A and B are shown apart, each in its own frame.
Chain A
Amino acid sequence: MKTIFEQSVAGREGCWPCEGMAEEAYIPKDMLREGNIGLPSVSELDVVRHFTRLSQLNYSVDSNFYPLGSCTMKYNPKFTEVAAGLPGFTRLHPVLPQLRGAGGLCQGALEVMYEIERLLCEITGMAAYTMHPMAGAHGELTGVMLMAAYHRDKGNKKTKVIVPDSAHGTNPASAAIAGFEIVSVESKDGIVDPAALEKVLDDEVAGMMMTCPNTLGLFEKNLPEVVRMLRKVDALLYYDGANLNAIMGKMRVGDVGFDIVHWNVHKTLATPHGGGGPGSGPVGVSERLVDYLPVSRVRKREDGQFFLDYDFPKSIGYVAPFYGNFGVYLKAYAYILRLGGAGLTRASENAVLAANYMRKRLSSHFEVPYNRTCMHEFVISATPQAHKGVHALDFAKGLLDRGYHAPTIYFPLIVPEALMIEPTETENKETLDKFCDDLIELAELVDTNPEALTSAPVNLPVTRLDETKAARSMELTDDL
């Protein structure tokens, strides 16, 4: 499809929001830019057609089943958009509460922040939250910065963070960016092995980052022991909330002994991901880390008025310009209000039910490396098929041809030829069954017609794309 730049015609008028064209530029000539910028000159209808057509080239939850493991692509209810789009929220300038006494101009927004923090505290059993982090990985970085602040304040010399081999790549990246050295620990039978942990645990360990259920979809049942071990060396335990949607109402990470937890609200609380963002990554902490949370923090006075408090001398400071992605967590707030406690628990139960159902159905045709009760997702391996020349990637592309987004592939790294499947609680049984039938049919094609897989996709706007060429030629803009 032509780019919007290729459709541009010099002089064609777009949508001008205001009449009049101030003639005087108010800026000396030598400080002005010269010539045309090269932005499109197109009509409003050109724009509408172009982006409508582009949208039609996409797979999305509204149009396709998206069993993308660890990404949790559940249905996003539409009413949350109405909530976030209320002009009483969208028109609020973020510095309003910084004008003295002007917390009075945004009491509703501050109340939303206050209430959602309390709800997240109760769901996870933590003492306090910051809503500031703007994505899950940003929450991780904030969490590790809190870890560093805690040890610095106590005078602890801590240089290392432990990350299990089943962790997301963002975990080691976040800890490294905050200035820590990364120590990996190997899993045993798919979960963290206390004996292996013992070997790497010493006084220099600042903390450990865990995902539970982990990226294999397995519950870390050694958690209590892991917590005891870390406490002994005054190391903090970090919970990667990417898979929090599996345990709502079943376990609270604060009760188990975690000190820090981040959410990915698009995964657990059904805020749309928008093709890559925006996200929101609130971070909760246990009592001993409360003083270090980012500023500002919303508080309630005795008269019921809300205000922002910046007076936390031990705070790690600003991690975001304002109060995080307000428009995103407003949707999460609406979602929690709609589901209530029972609804959240039911969501977790049905996500786990769906995953186990599919695991059982697929285990007849695929290797399932950890074929026991899983949580909200599970990993199958195409190793047997790979011996015949058909790889996880080919299954992914074969599924695209049949109208499904592919599962996550080649992750976690500890399973060869991995296909990581997460159905979520919102897909009906017909969809789950049809997907299993289709995937099994693809597995059967490996012996009869493997080319049908290795040449897939053929029904999409493009066939397989040359990623090596893209990296080599670096065509990153229309000009370059």
Chain B
Amino acid sequence: MPFVPHTEDEVREMLATIGVGSVDDLFAEISADMRPKSFDIPEGLSEMEVLSKLEALAAKNATDSVSFLGAGFYDHYIPAAVDALTMRGEFYTAYTPYQPEASQGTLQAIFEYQTAVARLLGMDCANASVYDGGTALYEATMMAVRKTKRRKIVVSEALNPIYRVMLGSYTTNLDVDLVTIPHKDGQTDIEGLKAALDDSTAAVLVQNPNFFGSVNDLTELFAAAKAVKAVSIMSVYPVLQTLLKTPGEMGADIAVAEGQSLGLPLSFGGPYLGIMTCTKTMVRQMPGRIVGRTTDTNGRTGYVLTLQAREQHIRRQRATSNICSNQSLCALRALVHICALGEMGLKRVARVSMERAHICAERLTAIPGVEMLTKGSFGNEFAVTLPVNAFEAIDKLTERGYVPGFPLGRYFEGLENGLLVACTEKTSEEQIGIFAEMLRGALK
């Protein structure tokens, strides 16, 4: 039987030590009326058979398509060192570092991760990560509610719609009011957001670049939030954060991000990485694991899980959050990815991705009837309006191996002709050319 090492003799010896006649005797407390009504699970397969089955399933997925899909989740190149190092069993098969002396590797890596993401977002501190970017945004919102003891949340509609629906689900049973300020033709409505702020506002939630790819300066909005003592929360795309003015520079109190683009494969939606950073004044409201630096009895530097008094195993129902794990291995991947690329490498990825997107936008808008929807500056993603329903164009191109982007009509009424297009450093100029020609043909 796979993975169980005991021989029959050993089982007999163990039963004799326990003082029972059979393994069944150990389950005697499960009475007959509690036994399974059925347990119809197929017979086990060999390792080779399992892998063949999964290879066959994997082959049913069209991963050889050329894709311009982004919508918050991007296909960046991952250096081979990321897999090689993070797959080491000592990292991979360790548990949460409850015994710090035996877990300095994981703890120091988390400390370095906290440092790296705090610097990237220009904030004071970070936690050891949460499940994903959407969870990070929701947890940030709850931090603001606790801190201000207010219930009104002002949300920009130009924030990733997937995160907005998550926020709605999580707050259904809570005494929280979500006030959504509509986007203006794909722009974050900064004036509208400012107008919605008042002294009952707990937080204002914005994204930069916004869902449509548009880049903004939110300094004024955050100043207005500060004036009414509301918390400013900003969601960012970490790769572009190497170039863009940071949440810290704009005056955000909490900054969050989906960390997938830092060394994690797309993997059909997970596992991903929720990056959470904040100012020092907010740190005790932050959920989840946090690592701190300290010293041992000999004065040597070491690392421990710290500020645990906020957590469920101590505070139970009064904890800041129910989250009791983090995405340690994903955070490690992000850290190794950042280190392997280095400061310049990461900036280079951001700039090249941005350049490709601008080339792509130029090629697409040269097609009659295709117009830019995203106004002003954008990074590696932008939206265009097509002369037809975007789904129609997507259908035609996917048939030919090109996935042209995300149909905005899926989440935004009135934008049925809108297509959101993303490029990364993996997108070649040749692919952009073919895409443009295909689209031109499809629209004829």
Contacts and interface: CB of A to CB of B under 8 A. Distances in A.
Nearest to A1: B108
A275 interface: yes
A28 interface: yes
B41 A3 contact: no
A111 B103 contact: no
Contact of A318 (B116, B165, B249, B403): B165
Nearest to A457: B101
Contacts of B91: 55, 58, 60, 274-275
A200 interface: no
Given A58-B90, A467-B304, A47 B317 contact: no
A92 B268 contact: yes
A463 to B, nearest CB: 4
B365 interface: no
A373 B28 contact: yes
Given A249-B39, A471-B307, A111 B60 contact: yes
B4 A426 contact: yes
Contacts of B23: 349, 352-353
A353 B14 CA distance: 7
Given A15-B79, A58-B105, A91-B63, A112 B244 contact: no
Contacts of B243: 25, 27, 32-33
B377 A31 contact: yes
B93 A182 contact: no
B101 to A, nearest CB: 5
A340 B50 CA distance: 11
Contacts of B367: none
Interface string A87-125: 111111111101111101111110110000001001101
Contact of A108 (B6, B57, B172): B57
B93 A61 contact: yes
> On chain A, which size bracket covers the interface?
35 or more
A195 interface: no
A174 interface: yes
Contact of B351 (A25, A177, A224): A25
B13 interface: yes
Interface in A120-147: 122-123, 125, 134-138, 140-141, 145
B44 A340 contact: yes
Please indicate which of the listed interface residues A84, A90, A344 has the most CB atoms of chain B within 10 Å of its own CB. Answer: A90
Contacts of B65: 105
B223 interface: no
A110 B79 CA distance: 28
Given A99-B394, A221-B31, A273-B96, A22 B354 contact: yes
Given A31-B217, A105-B62, A274-B92, A470 B306 contact: yes
B341 A219 contact: no
Contacts, number: 696
A56 B88 CA distance: 10
B442 interface: no
Nearest to B99: A406
A176 B46 CA distance: 45
Contact of B34 (A140, A223, A360): A223
Interface stretch (B149-157, B195-203, B225-233, B295-303): B295-303
Interface stretch (A232-240, A331-339, A438-446): A331-339
A20 B112 contact: no
B379 interface: yes
B2 A474 contact: no
A357 B297 contact: no
Contact of B166 (A3, A135, A319): A319
A55 B90 contact: yes
Interface string B106-138: 101111101110111010111011011111000
Nearest to A104: B62
Contacts of B172: 145, 148-149, 316-317
B266 A91 contact: yes
Nearest to A134: B131
B313 A411 contact: yes
A396 to B, nearest CB: 7
Contact of A18 (B54, B103, B319, B348): B348
A323 B243 CA distance: 32
A152 B216 CA distance: 41
Nearest to A111: B57
B140 to A, nearest CB: 14
A277 B245 contact: no
B50 A174 contact: no
Interface stretch (A165-173, A282-290, A383-391): A165-173
B88 A52 contact: yes
A197 interface: no
Contacts of B4: 346-347, 350, 425-426
Contacts of B79: 15, 17, 44
Contacts of A451: none
Given A59-B94, A338-B44, A96 B325 contact: no
B44 A342 contact: yes
Nearest to A174: B322
Given A123-B39, A462-B101, A463-B297, A317 B168 contact: yes
B184 interface: no
A462 B102 CA distance: 8
Contacts of B15: 353
Interface stretch (B67-75, B185-193, B433-441): B67-75
A337 B53 contact: yes
A87 B292 contact: no
Contacts of B71: 95
B391 to A, nearest CB: 5
Contacts of B31: 221, 224
Please indicate which of the listed interface residues A47, A141, A408 has the most CB atoms of chain B within 10 Å of its own CB. Answer: A47
Contacts of A79: 47, 50-51
A268 B70 CA distance: 34
A81 interface: yes
Given A31-B244, A353-B15, A92 B266 contact: yes
Given A22-B352, A275-B91, A322-B162, 12 more contacts: A5-B112, A25-B243, A27-B377, A73-B95, A88-B57, A109-B268, A277-B131, A321-B163, A322-B269, A353-B11, A462-B101, A462-B300
